[in-house]
Amino acid sequence: MKTDDLISLLASGVTPVDRRAPAKRFSIAVLAGLLGALFLVVALKGVRPDLGQVMATPIFWAKIAFPLCLMIGTLGMVMRLARPGVASGPGKILIVAAVTAVWVGAIYVLMVTAPDDRVAVILGDTWRVCALNITLLSIPGFIAVFWALRGLAPTNLTLSGACGGLLAGSMATIAYSLHCPEMQVPFWAVWYLLGMLVPTILGALLGRRWLRW
């Protein structure tokens, strides 16, 4: 077979690559993760009875803004990492900024709180179940995000898996905020972060196996 004939044979039937495939897959994954976590919150936990009142306060939207910034930053990273050989990009700047802002706020709150009350501010009333609840609520998002990643071509499997886990955890935290009664920044800085850290670590460990291609 001649070289030209071989090239023609290999090139036949080739369809153009959809450049919007990552955006489409992750749009589905984010929608499924958020709706899944919201459904579980409403079905298993219920929304807090004073939700309408607290939604009129800035501190409630600060509580939502924290995991929302992590979700946006991680989504930007994981969409880049889903393509072979592409760096994670600037999304990590937003993640670092959000975590730093919460920790600065937590330190300030603890500094102006009476020493005898600081432990209570950190623990709140739900510290025993908060991280576990966020981890469980991240399951729909975890499955959806890993489905999106497996249909693409990540090469940095550990980092891609970790970002996928953090994305799932941040979506779960947004949904959980509609139920969680805790309004103290130090609580979020410890227990919300811990709840999101668990799926992040799981994603990093499982990514090396589940995302291999």
Dig out the tokens for 85 from the structure.
Answer: 């050989």
Q: DSSP 3-state assignment of 2?
A: coil
Domain of 98 in residue numbering reads as 30-210
Residue 11 lies in a domain: no
Of the chain, the percentage scoring pLDDT greater than 90 comes to 83
Output the CA torsion 104→110→113→117 (10° steps). Answer: 150
Residue 9 lies in a domain: no
Nearest to 201 by CA among 154, 147, 163, 156: 163
Residue 172 lies in a domain: yes
pLDDT for residue 15 is more than 60: no
Task: Answer yes or no: are the C-beta atoms of 184 and 124 closer than 8 Å.
Answer: yes
Across residues 162-181, what is the average pLDDT? 97
Domain count, the chain: 1
Single pTM value for the model: 0.90
Distance in angstroms (rounded) separating the CA atoms of residues 90 and 198: 23
Residue 3 lies in a domain: no
pLDDT for residue 178 is more than 70: yes
Q: Classify burial at 13, counting beta carbons within 10 Å of its beta carbon; exposed 0-12, middle 13-18, buried 19 or more.
A: exposed
Question: Each residue of 21-74: pLDDT tens digit?
Answer: 788 999 999 999 999 999 999 999 999 999 999 999 999 999 999 999 999 999
Residue 173 lies in a domain: yes
Question: Each residue of 185-200: pLDDT tens digit?
Answer: 999 999 999 999 999 9
Residue 10 lies in a domain: no
Question: For position 212, what pLDDT does the model report?
Answer: 85
Residue 46 lies in a domain: yes
Question: Each residue of 87-116: pLDDT tens digit?
Answer: 888 999 999 999 999 999 999 999 999 999
Residue 1 lies in a domain: no
Question: For position 3, what pLDDT does the model report?
Answer: 61
